[in-house]
Structure 1
Amino acid sequence: MAPELVVLLLVMGVVAIPGAGAGARAGSHSYWYFYTGVSDPSLDVPAFTAVGYMDDQKILHYDSETRRQEPCGNWAQGAVGPDFCDNETRSLQGWQQEFGVNLGTLRQCYNQTDESHTLQFMYGFELHEDGSTGGYMQFGSDGEDFISYDLGTRTWIAVPAQAQITQRRWNEDKILFQIARAYLEESCIKWLQKYLQHGKAALLSKPPKTQVSDRPSSQDVLTTLSCRVHCFYPKEVAVVWLKNGEAQPQEMSHSGVIPSGDGTYQTWATININPSSNHDYTCSMEHVSLGEHLQAARDKSMMRE
């Protein structure tokens, strides 16, 4: 995050943002930040949180409880200078304060009650496989779009009627244009390239490992075969149980793909079978790191009489 963006928030006055950040497509890379402020914080939800991502890997984190910017992972630390965290901490403390002020401003703008409300800001940059680039800077409130910067037309575009006054003011402000344009067209790509240089190992494809096991099903007469697929990156993976070589997607359950906590991902696929069945059951998976489908067969010695 550049210090100029703190200036951007301070000058804007009312700010807000939309949904989730964009992940990188195959062969491309993305670098983005997502800030969230809430009017009614709790033990699990700080008043202000800022996170930075390189592709789907978290590289930076700050929240109003710790009040300090911390890099996530050794490779992220290698990309920044010794004073980076101190400078970022001071900047984000300023963001935290302004978010509190702007939550009150938005409440008046929308004539909101004292219910819990959310203020968000997202910005980032994408480098595509063909060398083309794209940047975005978006604001929203309570999960709804408020206003965004269009890099193609280099104009601010309002979504609700309440944002039209802000849109006109920002489109007439040359300083805001210079800040947004300079960051999205120059600074952002430099940071992305810097993190790519130091994070190559973390962003390399990692092949999945598998483990097949069985356990009694909640239905006494059946056994649940479980296929655990783990230690893979990136997160896109396809897992299916085969019965005598035929896929059984309708018969199986899938846990979804979740982070393992070390930059890799894991998932489970299960299927209920008759424990005395003599059919061949195989867990088959497809991942970008594999030249062909990886398969792990059920051990028939696990059969119960």
Structure 2
Amino acid sequence: MTMVTERPPVRRPAAVPVTRATRVSRWQIYLPLGLYLLFTLVPFYWMLVFAFRPAGSMAIVPWPITFEHFDTVWNGMGFAVFFQNSLLVGLASLVATTVVALAGGYALARYQFKGKAAFMIGMLCTQFIPGALMIIPLFEIFRTLSLTNSLWSLVIAETVFQLPLSLILISGFIRNIPYELEQAAWVDGCGRLRGFLAIVLPLLRPALVAVGSFAFIHSWNNFLFALMFLNDQEKFTVPVGLAYNLGENSVDFGALAAGGVVAALPVVIVFAFIQRYLVQGMSAGAVKG
């Protein structure tokens, strides 16, 4: 004879009463978001209007659409050279920042040494120093090293300024990876380097994407360093090239808007592809210090 045991009743959490304080209507959500999007997107809309409408037109909607401003910027103003220079500086800064931050972040996460806390505080304090205060010291250093009027000066400066935040992000992300995984790889015969490449590095994809994207976008948009360290027009980057095309007595708004569209396009593409990795890398790297 089988005994049938009666299961105890499952206690369900009491429902939270919907009160006037907790009830949120749709307009309370969509109205602030709509105002924010309106404030944010209107300048971009006017940039597109000036870029695609014919010269002399005052239409609010760019019709008929013309690409004459893009041809003027790309071929007439040498914007292709500026775009290439910015792309080289951005990719070089991305690689340098990611590699150095990866090595330094692993050391900060896995090793204990004297002065580690002071070193972390020092890195955080460097984020409060404006880049404009470092122009003269950096210029003297690059002049001594014969790196003025060179794209390598921008790569070095961007890498140095991006390293503190990148180190903190990657070290925080590595702390979230269990150390036992590496120890198990060592038991199986892997060395520290091979264990890092096989176990830790694949799990760092969101952090690497976040660090690399921030380094690329910051170097792409930086205007001050490129303005101060570069003298030859053939080595100008996109922000300096846009400012260089501003006339003393007149401004070609159509060409300037077309240059702004071309300059913003790589940033939009980067964020469109890395958005999910970016949010994951930022949140994971900020959990533990």
If the length of structure 2 is used for normalisation, what is the TM-score? 0.23
Q: RCO greater where, 1 or 2, for CA within 8 Å and sep 6 or more?
A: 2
Q: Greater strand share, 1 or 2?
A: 1
Structure showing greater radius of gyration is 2
